[in-house]
């Protein structure tokens, strides 16, 4: 047991002796295929601090959480001999401008190619660089969905007749730069003081009572933050309470955890058992429980992921993926197709591909509507239809999810699309703006000037009508 390794706080972790053997235990495993040989090397040993960490320790979720990196200083300490001083300064300065705080698991940190971090698709998702920051479109917001406008109880958003969003926590196993709840999730940053929107612990009761009293609610999304950070007893409490409500038919636990901390499924037996028990009970009641996860790039998938997803599949827990289209991460035909075929192989349904939300501070990651449509065209047909994700834009201002092609009007020159959502907000028009970097200098100037912007918006809305 390597509990004396410099820099790794292992002493306080009670290792479960079952963990090491469970890594090799018998459960569903995909039939080996040369197309799906997920990396199974001890890749974490490539970082000096973890070069003596064995698989037993690395595969323990408590060790992963204890050794998560939560500051630029700690990151620098970990990788300073792998990157230049200038690159570390670039991260420091990028972090000072970022709406999201830093939190990364050793799993993700070890998968980043530190010999080429600038282009690495995982680094781009989690670590900002000042040098890649691009000017924000003036229509961006920190809460582009306007979730707080439709909140009947703390931590609850009720926008669509049959479903609610229940924000049970405001913390995640990692923090993504492009989080749609940049205004609330994670710790305060230099540029954003986070709003308290979740309903922790005793504050769940008003949300439960609201759902009980509204018989139109059939579907509950439990999110945050991230359901991975809920303890097993909390998963059970929420799930059982909701299953006991006769009109609640479907539940979805939202978590990026499977992509960034997959070993938790193997080592946190209580958490996995809690989800499995709920799934079994739901099925016996004619209801359903699923995990909605969030893989964005095939590099996030390893043999550890395959084993975690195998356990869930064998236990009958349905897993669906919701990716976000991110520039320089997965906006290529190769990356998107590989992601979807790997997920399908592992029995995860590639359900949604979201257009990047109009969030402040991460323009370098957004694509234009027309580029995302081209991406959809390039990938559709490469894989069976039921495993082809819907390419979706979640409309700013609360119009809900629309097929990305379904705009009523799109001015590619000005980079603005107009959508309607008659079943959600009758007669209202919703705008999605392409990032400025996708536009000509002339179009950019029209958006940046406040007077021409007002005129431009007026003209666009008239044309759409
Ligand atoms: S895991 Fe989800 S909720 Fe958490 S930071 Fe990432 S996108 Fe936001």
Q: Give the active site residue among 123, 163, 229, 420.
A: 163
| Residue linked to tokens 């680094």 | 123
Q: Are residues 373 and 291 in the same domain?
A: yes
Q: Give the active site residue among 357, 366, 419, 434.
A: 357
Please report whether residue 66 resides in a domain: yes
Q: Average the pLDDT over 372-377 and give the result.
A: 97
β 390-395/400-403 pair status: antiparallel
β 250-254/288-293 pair status: parallel
Q: Are residues 22 and 47 in the same domain?
A: yes
User: Is the CB of 102 within 6 Å of ligand 1?
Assistant: no
pLDDT score of 22: 41
Q: Are residues 128 and 158 in the same domain?
A: no
Give catalytic status of residue 181 as yes or no: yes
Question: What does the angle CA 121 – CA 122 – CA 123 come to, to the nearest 5 degrees?
Answer: 95
159: domain CATH number is: 3.20.20.70
User: Is the CB of 179 within 6 Å of ligand 1?
Assistant: yes
Q: Which atom of ligand 1 is nearest to the CA of 255?
A: 1
Phi/psi at 349 (5° precision): -80, 120
Query: Residue 177 C-alpha to ligand 1 middle, in angstroms?
Result: 8
The range of the structural domain enclosing residue 243 comes to 147-408
Q: Are residues 263 and 372 in the same domain?
A: yes
Query: Residue 301 C-alpha to ligand 1 middle, in angstroms?
Result: 18
pLDDT score of 14: 39
User: Is the CB of 103 within 6 Å of ligand 1?
Assistant: no
Please report whether residue 278 resides in a domain: yes
User: In the chain, how many domains are there?
Assistant: 2
pLDDT tens, 74-118? 999 999 999 999 999 999 999 999 999 999 999 999 999 999 999
**At residue 23, does pLDDT exceed 90?**
no
Mean pLDDT taken over the chain: 91
Contacts of 410 (CB under 8 A, 6+ apart): 369, 370, 416, 417, 418
Give catalytic status of residue 179 as yes or no: yes
Q: Average the pLDDT over 136-146 and give the result.
A: 90
Domain boundary among 358, 393, 408: 408
């Amino acid at each position: 047991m390597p509990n004396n390794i410099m820099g790794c706080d292992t002493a306080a972790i009670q290792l479960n002796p079952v963990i090491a053997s469970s890594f090799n235990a018998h459960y569903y495993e995909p039939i080996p295929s040369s197309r799906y040989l997920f990396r199974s090397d001890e890749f974490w040993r490539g970082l000096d601090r973890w070069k003596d960490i064995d698989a037993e320790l690395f595969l323990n979720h408590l060790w992963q959480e204890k050794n998560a990196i939560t500051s630029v200083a700690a990151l620098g300490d970990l990788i300073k001999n792998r990157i230049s001083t200038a690159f570390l300064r670039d991260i420091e300065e990028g972090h000072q401008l970022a709406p999201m705080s830093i939190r990364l698991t050793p799993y993700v940190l070890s998968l980043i190619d530190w010999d080429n971090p600038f282009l690495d698709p995982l680094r781009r998702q989690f670590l900002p660089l000042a040098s890649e920051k691009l000017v924000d479109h003036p229509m961006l917001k920190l809460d582009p969905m306007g979730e707080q406008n439709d909140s009947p109880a703390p931590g609850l958003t009720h926008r669509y007749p049959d479903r609610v969003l229940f924000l049970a926590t405001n913390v995640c196993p990692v923090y993504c730069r492009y989080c749609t709840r940049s205004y609330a999730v994670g710790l305060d940053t230099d540029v954003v003081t986070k709003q308290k929107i979740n309903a922790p612990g005793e504050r769940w009761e008003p949300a439960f009572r609201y759902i009980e009293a509204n018989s139109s609610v059939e579907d509950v999304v439990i999110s945050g933050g991230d359901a991975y950070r809920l303890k097993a007893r909390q998963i059970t409490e929420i799930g059982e309470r909701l299953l006991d409500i006769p009109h609640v038919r479907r539940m979805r636990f939202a978590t990026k955890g499977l992509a960034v901390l997959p070993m938790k499924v193997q080592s946190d037996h209580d958490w996995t058992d809690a989800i499995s028990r709920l799934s079994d009970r739901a099925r016996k009641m004619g209801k359903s429980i699923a995990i909605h996860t969030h893989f964005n790039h095939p590099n996030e998938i390893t043999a550890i992921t395959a084993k975690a997803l195998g356990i869930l599949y064998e236990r009958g827990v349905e897993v669906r993926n919701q990716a976000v289209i991110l520039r320089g991460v997965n906006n290529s035909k190769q990356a998107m197709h590989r992601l979807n075929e790997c997920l399908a192989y592992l029995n995860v349904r590639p359900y949604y591909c979201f257009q990047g939300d109009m969030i402040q501070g991460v323009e370098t990651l957004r694509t234009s509507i027309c580029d995302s449509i081209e991406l959809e065209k390039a990938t559709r047909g490469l894989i069976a239809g039921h495993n082809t994700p819907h390419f979706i834009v979640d409309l700013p201002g609360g119009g809900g999810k629309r097929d990305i092609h379904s705009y009523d009007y799109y001015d590619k020159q000005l980079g603005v699309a107009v959508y309607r959502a008659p079943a959600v907000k009758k007669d209202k028009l919703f705008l999605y703006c392409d990032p400025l970097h996708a536009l000509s200098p002339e179009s950019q100037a029209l958006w940046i000037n406040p007077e021409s912007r007002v005129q431009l918006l007026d003209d666009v809305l008239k044309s759409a009508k």
